[in-house]
Amino acid sequence: MRRLSRKDQLFVGITLFSMFFGAGNLIFPPVLGLSAGTAVPWAFAGLAVSAVGLPILGVIAVARSGGLPVLAGRVGKRFAAVFTMLIYLSIGPCLAIPRTASTSFEMAVTPFLPAGAPAALFQALYSVVFFAAALSLALRPSQLVDWLGKRLAPTLLVLIGVLFVGCLLHAGHPLETPTAAYAASPAGEGFLYGYQTMDAIAALIFGIVLTLNIQAKGVTETKDVVRSIVRASWLAAALFLTVYGALTYIGATHGDPAAENGAQILSGAARSLFGSAGSVILAAIFVIACLNTCISLISCCGQYFAGLFPRFSYRSWAVFFAVVSAVISNAGLNLILKLSVPVLNCLYPAAIALILLAFLPDWLQKRPLLYPLTVGLAAVFGTLYALDQTGLRLPVLTALAEALPLYGTGLGWLLPAALGALAGLLLPLKGGRDPETGG
């Protein structure tokens, strides 16, 4: 069998969507809709680029390159080792996996707790049940299409559709005045807000499990696997745009300005539309979405670390990550979101540079300085901005970064990266390093 059938291709696309679509994808678009107000079209355009376009390009880039270690290795062996490890840890047990449990708890359990109930105890119990369920499915990584693509994701899409239709049929409030950030640069702020979905980073690691599922369907040729991944990516992009548009509309027209995060915005909208039944619908949406992503991330991290440290089996790594994530998830949603911002501001510029460079013609990618200069400068200036946002300023360097265009919007790394790319194209080294291996 050389290619997937249309039916299997459809389910692979839905599976890819469900692997991405978790906690952040649910809670960030409503906040954008409410905060951007009358500037929401421009803000949504920025979000679409960073939270839809870049992730889809990332999946394709990694598939075409032969994996994240190979792609990052074009910068250098040491960079590939450190960057790949940071990607897996941030998208795995340190931030993204715990966030799936903390978000779904806030939406699926907290609204139903009686007054005075020990929330911390209930959250601990919920995290045990949630990660036990995720682990039981993650231990069968080649069957994710059957579980996510054919069962859980379609159910999720139907439930989101019910909530969206309810908002369409019930008049909401007029669009709010944009907050200061969105009034100044709606598209730029929307682009940066898309960072927090973590999807452009997740895109760099999802290929390993998606490939495993495609091969389980009988497709073994590398070029046919890549072709199936590309087709699945475009289907996932269409689903993303549709669902993001629906969630942004809900936040813009039915969001409560007093809400602290997107989870609370959706909760208030669901209750106002459907009463107690709305809370049940929203609880199911969050549990399914977060469970889908949790399963996928445990699978990806388990596969990677089992290959990196084969002394321990995939099963052992999957159990380890589930246990560690369960512990971290009890820190609470708001704290996890706060910690994720500087980490993402560090990693995203380098990830974006890697993704975009992967689409240059092969003869240009062989320039030995192209990847080190472009990605290196993006990483350095992205890190300077992230440190500045946490209050840590480096002498001279931070002042230099502040003088760059778009620094205030978090995009100051763009000019240095562009100059690095130009230098990398114009200044090839004779007999230099191999861009494929970093050697």
d(C-alpha 346, C-alpha 167), whole Å:
37
Nearest-Å Rg of the Cα atoms of the chain is 21
Q: What is the 3-state secondary structure (H, E, C) of the chain?
A: CCCCCHHHHHHHHHHHHHHHCCHHHHHHHHHHHHHHHHHHHHHHHHHHHHHHHHHHHHHHHHHHHCCHHHHHCCCCHHHHHHHHHHHHHHHHHHCHHHHHHHHHHHHHCHHHCCCCCCHHHHHHHHHHHHHHHHHHHHCCHHHHHHHHHHHHHHHHHHHHHHHHHHHHHCCCCCCCCCCHHHHHCHHHHHHHHHHHHCHHHHHHHHHHHHHHHHHHCCCCCHHHHHHHHHHHHHHHHHHHHHHHHHHHHHHHHHCCCCCCCHHHHHHHHHHHHHCHHHHHHHHHHHHHHHHHHHHHHHHHHHHHHHHHCCCCCHHHHHHHHHHHHHHHHCCCHHHHHHHHHHHHHHHHHHHHHHHHHCCCCHHHHCCCCHHHHHHHHHHHHHHHHHHHHCCCCCCCHHHHHHCCCCHHHCCCCHHHHHHHHHHHHHCCCCCCCCCCCCC
> Which of 15, 92, 134 is CA-nearest to residue 297?
92
End-to-end CA distance of the chain: 37
> Which of 365, 172, 397 is CA-nearest to residue 273?
172
Q: What is the pLDDT along the chain (439 residues), one digit of tens a residue?
A: 567 888 889 999 999 999 999 867 888 899 999 999 999 999 999 999 989 999 999 999 988 888 888 999 999 999 999 999 888 888 888 888 888 888 888 888 888 888 888 988 999 999 999 999 999 999 988 888 888 888 899 999 999 999 999 999 988 889 999 999 899 889 988 988 887 777 888 888 887 788 888 888 888 888 888 899 999 999 999 999 999 999 999 999 999 888 888 888 998 899 888 988 998 999 999 999 999 999 999 999 999 999 999 999 999 999 999 999 998 888 765 666 666 667 777 888 999 999 999 999 988 888 999 999 999 999 999 999 988 888 888 888 999 999 999 888 788 999 999 999 999 999 866 544 555 555 5
- Do residues 369 and 424 touch, judged by C-beta distance below 8 A? yes
Give the pLDDT confidence of 60-86 residue by residue, as tens digits: 998 888 888 899 999 999 999 999 988
Give the pLDDT confidence of 346-366 residue by residue, as tens digits: 888 999 999 999 999 988 888
Q: Show Cβ contacts of residue 204 under 8 Å, excluding neighbours closer than 6 positions.
A: 58, 62, 68, 71, 87, 351, 354, 355
- Do residues 262 and 29 touch, judged by C-beta distance below 8 A? yes
pTM (predicted TM-score): 0.84
Q: How many whole angstroms from its chain centre is CA 423?
A: 31
Q: How many whole angstroms from its chain centre is CA 336?
A: 15
Residues 226, 95, 230: CA angle, nearest 5 degrees:
10
Q: Show Cβ contacts of residue 432 under 8 Å, excluding neighbours closer than 6 positions.
A: 368, 369
